[in-house]
Amino acid sequence: MSRIGKQEIQIPKGVEVTKSGNVLSVKGPKGTLSKIFRDDIKININANLVTLNAERNDKFSKSLWGTYASHIKNMIEGVETPYQKKLILEGVGFKSEVKGKEFVFALGFSHPVVVKIPEGITATAEKNNITISGIDKELVGSFTAGLRALKKPEPYKGKGMRYEGEIIRRKQGKKTV
């Protein structure tokens, strides 16, 4: 039994949840999200509640039960208030700026690194603070992780791109005798 899947999901005012076939759509003040769900889990939409039930009693259906509940909760939260992630770029000569729908980074390479910003995401770069926000939690998280992977923080001086609030474990450098 899924603890998360058994819980009823409240639909706040101003948010509309509809299901047609295997596609669940959530419409709110910040935008619309839709996702395809398998029919292993039955999704019931009442006036202001969403409930989920497993159709079969096998391991695969049980594993989808809580996952689908979390996806629906994230969709409802996202159309109400957008998700936001922040990155901090540390290092001498490291720069970031937004030009149109692209990020342009100077990360110590011989060339600038250009990354296209996907549709549905708004991004800002002020000095070395990068803010990424959007209504789709999965898209915001994967795009932010992709940016961080361009220049991961190194353990000796802490240079690189890290999440806000992330703690980098520092290593001791060479010892002089």
**pLDDT tens figures, 131-141:** 999 999 999 99
pTM for this entry: 0.89
Q: Any idea where the domains of the chain sit in the sequence?
A: 3-80, 83-163
| 8 A C-beta contact, residue 75 and residue 30 | no
Q: Which CATH class is domain 83-163?
A: alpha beta
Longest dimension (CA), the chain: 74
Report which of residues 75 and 3 the model is more confident about: 75
Q: Place domain 3-80 in its CATH homologous superfamily.
A: Ribosomal protein L6 (3.90.930.12)
Q: What average pLDDT is seen over the chain? A: 92
User: pLDDT of 161-171, one tens digit each?
Assistant: 999 999 999 99
Q: Cβ(39)–Cβ(22) under 8 Å?
A: yes
Q: Cα(54)–Cα(113) distance, rounded to whole angstroms?
A: 46
Q: Are the C-beta atoms of 62 and 54 separated by less than 8 Å?
A: yes
State the burial class of residue 138 (Cβ atoms within 10 Å of its Cβ: 0-12, 13-18, 19+).
middle
Domains 3-80 and 83-163 share a fold: yes
